[in-house]
Amino acid sequence: MKTRITAYAIGAGFILLGLWGVLTGTTNPRGWAFWFAGAVIVHDGIFVPFVLLLGALTTRVPASHRRFVQATLLVGGAVTLVALPMVLGFGQRADNPSILPLAYGRNLIIVLSVIAVVAVVWTALARHRKRSDDPR
Amino acid sequence: MVRRAEPLTPSYVPRFKSRLHDERVAAWLGIWLGVAFTSAFVTGLISHFMQQPPGWLMWPSRPVNLYRVTQGLHVIGGLATIPLLLAKMWTVYPRLFQWPPVRSVGHAVERALIFVLVGAALFQVVTGLLNISYWYAFPFFFTSAHYWTAYILVGALVIHVVNKWPKVHRTVMKHPEDGLNRRGFLLGVAAASGTVAVTMVGEAFSPLAKVALLAPRRPGVGPQGVPVNRSAYAAGVSLAAANDPAWRLQVTGRVQRELSFSLEELQALPSHSARLPIACVEGWSAGATWQGIRLRDLLHMAGVAEDARVRLISMEVRGIFRTSWVSSRHWHDPLTLLALSVNGETLDLDHGFPCRLIAPNRPGVHQTKWVRQVIVV
């Protein structure tokens, strides 16, 4: 119980320190609060429902292909999300071509293709192994 | 101990049928996230205190690549955390609709702290990702907002870990492994994090540069094969100003004799070369061979106290990195140069022509370019 209370105190201390820092040390606390709460609202209200819908749709895929589709969506979706700011390229600057120098749209397609190929091979291998394990 | 039944979700919320919305998956993802956030917090603090060292902190100049590694870990590890975080929140999403929403005062506080934890975690990964892609969509200065929110995140995380520890202990450490479904899901999440890391890590680890298909930087791409963070144009340094024959490098302040060198005079001084990286706070880094005068030699020529601190002033007209401090440990290091050339060529204007600082184990923003004055304090 004692360690628990100590840990709570440490946690609360860090939170209060951070809040104090945000209020006194950042340039726009109101904008900060908007982004802080906005991130939760967008995530819980839009992003996850969309993912759940997509997940529900994959249950209609024939069972034999479902694993493959789900794995590809999981890995490919995450990579796409992280790569999105690069693909959109809002950070590009005319005076500095070494920022965002690559063809990110094309590269993302390459990465997604590799993911799909790996998923196909993986599923095929798994199925093959299962079949050969089956006693006939 | 009697285990309380999980709160029911109200009937208007669709049923979550997947077995993956369960405690075991949440516990494993939680452990991974705990490690990831701790690593990001520690490396983030290192970067912060390297850039704004308090008076008592003497940051070492060696190992040469220390900052490169810690900051690479911070940024690329942080990117790899994104799939983990999203998967974790997907797993526990049904609990958002638990009924009744609040059972007691304690429970209300716990849920409020979950909001703080989720908000801070999302805030950190979203602003971090936007910042490394140079997309300044947010209405605040990134550095201070990211820094202070880290404390909020860690505080909420400590409380969350204490609250969930019994559950993690029970589900992960006491139950035998079962169900391929869960393992498959966790493997998929790990694969997503791994893919993100692999397509990014080459911006700091140049042997994998060719695989860094989605990284915002590529070692080797830039003037003279070195990426540039802030161009001369952005810093307000014109070619005419840098080429001005009246340009002098001045060594002033608490010195026995003030020095002043034209570019030709600098080129005539004993020159040394060093293989050093530019390690940027945005996580990318690239090694190069620099050639120039040791800062140590220059300061000894002027006659300074051995423990003196040195301030470099750039020709830049605006920006918070117009000046930088060099501690005595750093200027004593023989690898610390006022470089005149890189990879065998005279510095490009964007790399700080006529003269720039390059030192080991130092954030890129403090490798001051277009140096015109060395002030000894």
Domains and CATH numbers, chain B: 23-211 (1.20.950), 223-376 (3.90.420.10)
The interface residues of chain A toward chain B in range 35-64, judged by CB-CB distance below 8 A, are 35-37, 39-40, 43-44, 47-48, 51-52, 55
Mean pLDDT in residue range A66-85: 93
Q: Kindly state the tokens that stand for B165.
A: 């520890």
Q: Shortest CB distance from A78 goes to which of B86, B149, B151? A: B86
Each domain of chain A, given as residue ranges in start order, spans 1-60, 62-136
Cβ neighbours of A7 in B, within 8 Å: 158-159, 161-162
Q: Shortest CB distance from A102 goes to which of B93, B213, B230? A: B213
A113 touches chain B (CB under 8 A): no
Do the beta carbons of residue B319 and residue B230 sit within 8 Å?
Answer: yes
The helix (run of H) or strand (run of E) holding residue B285 is strand B285-294
Which amino acid does the sequence have at B303? G
As for the ipTM of the complex, it is 0.93
As a whole number of angstroms, the distance between CA B212 and CA B221 comes to 12
Q: Do B192 and A75 touch (CB under 8 A)?
A: yes
Cβ neighbours of A51 in B, within 8 Å: 90
Mean pLDDT in residue range A20-32: 95
Q: Pick from B264, B273, B330: which is nearest to B296 by CA?
A: B330
As a whole number of angstroms, the distance between CA B376 and CA B258 comes to 10
A96 touches chain B (CB under 8 A): yes
Q: What number of C-beta contacts closer than 8 Å exist between A and B?
A: 208
Is the predicted pLDDT of residue A16 greater than 90, yes or no? Answer: yes
As a whole number of angstroms, the distance between CA B299 and CA B376 comes to 8
As a whole number of angstroms, the distance between CA B39 and CA B44 comes to 8
Do the beta carbons of residue A18 and residue B152 sit within 8 Å?
Answer: yes
**A131 to chain B, minimum CA–CA distance in Å?**
17
Do the beta carbons of residue A62 and residue A69 sit within 8 Å?
Answer: no
Q: What is the pLDDT of residue B75?
A: 96
**A8 to chain B, minimum CA–CA distance in Å?**
5
To test the contact with chain B by mutation, choose from A40, A110, A112 the residue with the greatest count of B C-beta atoms within 10 A, namely A40
**B182 to chain A, minimum CA–CA distance in Å?**
13
A28 touches chain B (CB under 8 A): yes
| Distances in whole angstroms, Cα of residue A123 to Cα of each of A118, A130, B192 | 9, 10, 17
Percent of chain A with pLDDT over 70: 97
| Distances in whole angstroms, Cα of residue B266 to Cα of each of A5, B34, B276, B301, B338 | 63, 52, 21, 13, 10
Return per-residue pLDDT of chain B as tens, 377 residues. 344 444 455 555 566 767 777 888 899 999 999 999 999 999 999 999 988 877 777 788 889 999 999 999 999 999 999 999 999 999 999 999 988 999 999 999 999 999 999 999 999 999 999 999 999 999 999 999 999 999 999 999 999 999 999 888 887 766 555 445 788 889 999 999 999 999 999 999 988 999 999 999 999 899 999 999 999 998 999 888 888 889 999 999 999 999 999 999 999 999 999 999 999 999 999 999 999 999 999 999 999 999 999 999 999 887 778 899 999 999 999 999 999 999 999 999 999 999 999 999 999 999 999 999 999 98
As a whole number of angstroms, the distance between CA B262 and CA B355 comes to 11
Q: Do A74 and B158 touch (CB under 8 A)?
A: no
Residue B83 preceded by cis peptide, ω within 30: no
Q: Shortest CB distance from B218 goes to which of A74, A91, A102? A: A102
Nearest CA in chain A to B88: A48
Residues 6+ apart with CB under 8 A from B96: A44
Q: Do B162 and A39 touch (CB under 8 A)?
A: no
State the CB neighbour count (10 A cutoff) for residue A56.
Answer: 12
Q: What is the pLDDT of residue B174?
A: 66
- pLDDT tens for A38-58 read 999 999 999 999 999 998 898
Mean pLDDT in residue range A22-36: 95
To test the contact with chain A by mutation, choose from B48, B52, B162, B214 the residue with the greatest count of A C-beta atoms within 10 A, namely B214
**B84 to chain A, minimum CA–CA distance in Å?**
9
Q: Which pLDDT band, with edges at 50, 70 and 90, does A84 fall under?
A: very high
Q: Do B213 and A86 touch (CB under 8 A)?
A: no
Q: What is the pLDDT of residue A67?
A: 82
Cβ neighbours of A34 in B, within 8 Å: 139
Cβ neighbours of A35 in B, within 8 Å: 123, 126-127, 138-140
**CA torsion sign, B312 to B315 to B318 to B321?**
negative
